[in-house]
Amino acid sequence: MKNVLIIGSTGQIGSELTMELRKRYNGDIVAGYISGAEPKGELLESGPSALVDITNEQQIAETVSKYKIDTIYNLAALLSAVAEAKPQLAWKIGMGGLFNVLEVAREMHCAVFTPSSIGVFGNNTPKDKTPQDTIRNPRTMYGVTKVSGELLSDYYNIRFGVDTRSVRFPGLISYVTPPGGGTTDYAVDIYYSAVKGEKFECPIAAGTFMDMMYMPDALHAAIQIMEADPTRLVHRNSFNIASMSFDPEIIANNIKKYIPELQMEYKVDPLRQAIAESWPNSLDDTCAREEWDWKPTYDLDTMTRDMIAKLKERFG
Ligand code: AKB
């Protein structure tokens, strides 16, 4: 039996991860939410939920105690572009929140998953097949909080024995809950425009490559890393994982195989473009493959076919 608290359960990852964990484990899988982002529908009806503001350590501790939580998925964060607009809030949630989670985990013996990101890398990092252990010098607040979060999570593991684990997510693509304020969001938005028959305005320039992943693989990674045999883990916070890398032209051409009418026009957003250019073109995920058997199942074409089919069911 596993009792899990998901902080940020109504967000892009949380809304799907919570449902996946409820299918997999038979304990209490608690959907933590903040006021104004309450769970609805199946997420609300299929299991317990609790008001858990990550900036409130007592609220986290009370929920952990009430449900005898053994694992916390800490998914609260502002994505990269919005974190640049609100750097103070990004730090408060990303680092203040993580500190609260780690303190509760230390005192109440929980394992902790905190997603990291390709955003930990910066302009001085090798761009292609970026290695697991390399320069992390981001110049964005998002990246700064993610690198600091990796270091703090490793510190709690080494110093206090807290079972902290993490993966560096690339851009995540899903047809369920849209992302908000990320640099890689264009790769989700383009599918919505294609299916709805709307012209797509692309905020990222042609030739800008970034790693991306379909949500089912991302959920699998988040679960598999927490179930991994700890004696095999050389790394913890955080693992490179990868499944595909493309630029706007490549994804648009792939979608056009199925929706030839798709029209795309570039309207580059300077902030997102600068962030995208500071991130790797592609990651080397050998360590994740070797230490916990990470292996993605979707490539660009299988993802595109599934995204289009699912969005057509919704939008006709
Ligand atoms: C973002 O674009 O901010 C995120 C990420 C890659 O971490 N999707």
10/19 Cα distance (integer angstroms): 11
pTM of the predicted model, to two decimals?
0.97
Best residue among 86, 185, 283 to mutate for probing ligand 1, ranked by most atoms within 8 Å of CB: 185
Q: What is the pLDDT of residue 148?
A: 98
- Phi and psi, residue 153, nearest 5°: -65, -40
Residue 181 CA, ligand 1 centroid: distance in Å: 8
> Residue 212, SS3?
strand
Structural tokens at position 152: 């703090």
In angstroms, the Cα distances linking 135 to 1, 197, 245, 280 are 40, 42, 20, 11
Closest ligand 1 atom to residue 170 Cα is: 6
80 CB near ligand 1 (under 6 Å): yes
240 CB near ligand 1 (under 6 Å): no
**Stretches in the chain below the pLDDT threshold 70:** none
Q: What is the pLDDT of residue 258?
A: 98
Best residue among 172, 208, 281 to mutate for probing ligand 1, ranked by most atoms within 8 Å of CB: 172
Q: What is the pLDDT of residue 3?
A: 98
Residue 183 CA, ligand 1 centroid: distance in Å: 6
Contacts of 174-177 spanning 24+ positions with Cβ under 8 A: 174/12, 174/16, 174/214, 174/215, 175/306, 175/307, 175/310, 175/311, 175/314, 176/15, 176/16, 176/215, 177/10, 177/11, 177/12, 177/15, 177/16
- Of residues 115, 165, 86, the one with CA closest to residue 11: 115
Q: What is the pLDDT of residue 100?
A: 98
